[in-house]
């Protein structure tokens, strides 16, 4: 996450995430699922522009950041009401501030919705970090992380100091990971999305024997094919049952020479790991030609 400015306006870039590994260990008493997941933040960004509002009000406006390549003319936008995670993050931080500063928040959306790319969670984390700076609150990263966990399972990851992490619990326990080299991806999102809660409702615990750590070791040594052999997402199978689009996209990716490919999070977003930027640009062009949805090239910087 990149945060700029500090007097009357702060701009924050909120990245999307990919799950290269998502093992469901079981269902918990609180209804959530216990996870072990390897997440990367990638260079597909929403932008948040946060400005002081002397009236003391909190307000949000959303607009389409363009740059989408799919058959849809217009991107779906989230609601801008109090239910939006950005507004919930702003209200939560303000409650802890001991005073009532206001902010106008402009959210420029590029990360597709309902795609397993955690756009909403990333926007919430960016709001916490950005308003902490705008309002000069001096909250520490652990303090912000604690608030983040109240907003959603994926939110704390985006406050982590590194671009990669192994996350546990319901996703909120974040262990930062060092990566040796930049990784390149093609990301696609079909025309329909899926509800995270719905996908989790249909999932079963993973039965695989390996861990995220083994996958991380291959990634760190630049052994992309070996790493891709350990890709796992327990949510892909239920997502395929709920959305034929995921299966269609999977087949389209399988026809291209990716180092590996898989669905991200609860879908319907899907990604392919590439050997270089050039490789990613080439395969993205082929996928765009299928007109199955929006297609992006993005990277993860160590
Ligand atoms: O935490 P978050 O609000 O993003 O989660 C959305 C939904 O996804 C939850 O209400 C829950 O149904 C499901 N979920 C889950 N186990 C997790 C994370 C999310 O069952 N570890």
16-38 pLDDT, tens digit per residue, is 999 999 999 999 999 999 999 99
Q: Which of 123, 154, 245, 294 is catalytic?
A: 154
Burial 239-272 (b: 16+ CB within 10 A, else e): bbebbebbeebbebbeebebbbbbbbbbbbbbbb
3-state secondary structure of 253: helix
Q: List phi, psi (to 5°) of 273.
A: -90, 130
Please tell me the distance between residue 25's alpha carbon and the centre of ligand 1 in angstroms. Answer: 14
Residue 100: per-residue pLDDT? 87
Provide, for the chain, the percentages of residues in helix, strand and coil under a 3-state DSSP scheme, each rounded to the nearest 5.
Answer: 30, 30, 35
Catalytic annotation on 17? yes
What angle (nearest 5°) sits at the alpha carbon of residue 197, between those of residues 121 and 39? 45
Model pTM score: 0.96
Per-residue confidence (pLDDT) for residue 68, from 0 to 100: 60
pLDDT tens column, 205-237: 999 999 999 999 999 999 999 999 999 999 999
User: Catalytic: which of 17, 23, 109, 288?
Assistant: 17
- What is the number of alpha carbons within 13 Å of residue 209 lying toward its C-beta? 0
Q: Ligand 1: which of 120, 200, 204 to mutate, most ligand atoms within 8 Å of CB?
A: 200
**According to the model, what pLDDT value does residue 70 have?**
59
Q: Is 63 left (phi over 0), alpha (psi -120 to 50) or beta?
A: beta
Q: What is the DSSP string of 207-249?
A: -----HHHHHHHHHTT-HHHHHHT-EETTHHHHHHH-HHHHHH
Which residue out of 125, 174, 196, 264 has the highest number of ligand 1 atoms within 8 Å of its CB and is therefore the one to mutate? 196
Phi, psi for residue 96 in degrees, rounded to 5? -85, -5
Task: Tell which atom from ligand 1 comes closest to the C-alpha of 170.
Answer: 21
The whole-number pLDDT of residue 256 equals 98
Alpha helices per DSSP H over 24-156: 85-97, 119-134, 141-151
The gap between the terminal CA atoms of the chain, to the nearest Å, is: 13
DSSP label at residue 162: S
**What are the C-alpha distances in Å from 271 to residues 125, 172, 224, 267?**
23, 23, 14, 10
Q: Which residues of the chain have a pLDDT value below 50?
A: none
Q: What is the pLDDT of residue 74?
A: 63
Q: Is 27 a catalytic residue?
A: no
Q: Which pLDDT score is estimated for 62?
A: 96
């Amino acid at each position: 996450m990149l945060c700029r400015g500090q007097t009357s306006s702060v701009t924050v870039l909120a990245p999307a995430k990919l799950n290269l590994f998502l093992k469901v260990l079981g269902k918990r008493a609180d209804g959530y699922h216990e996870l072990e997941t390897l997440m990367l933040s990638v260079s597909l960004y929403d932008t948040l522009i946060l400005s002081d509002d002397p009236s003391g009000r909190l307000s949000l406006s959303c607009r389409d950041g363009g740059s989408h390549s799919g058959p849809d003319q217009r991107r779906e936008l989230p609601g801008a009401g109090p239910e939006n995670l950005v507004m919930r993050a702003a209200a939560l931080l303000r409650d802890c501030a001991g005073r009532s500063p206001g902010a106008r928040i402009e959210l420029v959306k590029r990360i597709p919705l309902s795609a397993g790319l955690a756009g909403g969670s990333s926007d919430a984390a960016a709001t916490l970090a950005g308003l902490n700076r705008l309002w000069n609150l001096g909250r520490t990263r652990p303090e912000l992380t604690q608030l983040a966990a109240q907003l959603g399972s994926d939110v704390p990851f985006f406050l982590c100091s590194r671009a990669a992490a192994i996350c546990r619990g319901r996703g909120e326990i974040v262990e930062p990971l060092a990566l040796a080299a930049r990784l390149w991806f093609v990301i696609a999102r079909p025309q329909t999305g899926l509800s995270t809660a719905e996908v989790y409702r249909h999932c079963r615990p993973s039965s695989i024997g390996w861990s995220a750590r083994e996958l991380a070791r291959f990634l760190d040594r630049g052994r992309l094919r070996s790493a891709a052999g350990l890709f796992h997402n327990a949510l892909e199978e239920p997502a395929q049952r709920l959305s034929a689009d995921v299966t269609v996209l999977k087949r389209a990716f399988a026809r291209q020479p990716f180092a590996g490919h898989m669905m991200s999070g609860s879908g319907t977003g899907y990604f392919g790991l590439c050997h270089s930027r050039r490789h990613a640009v080439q395969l993205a062009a082929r996928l765009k030609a299928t007109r199955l949805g929006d297609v992006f090239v993005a990277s993860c910087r160590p």
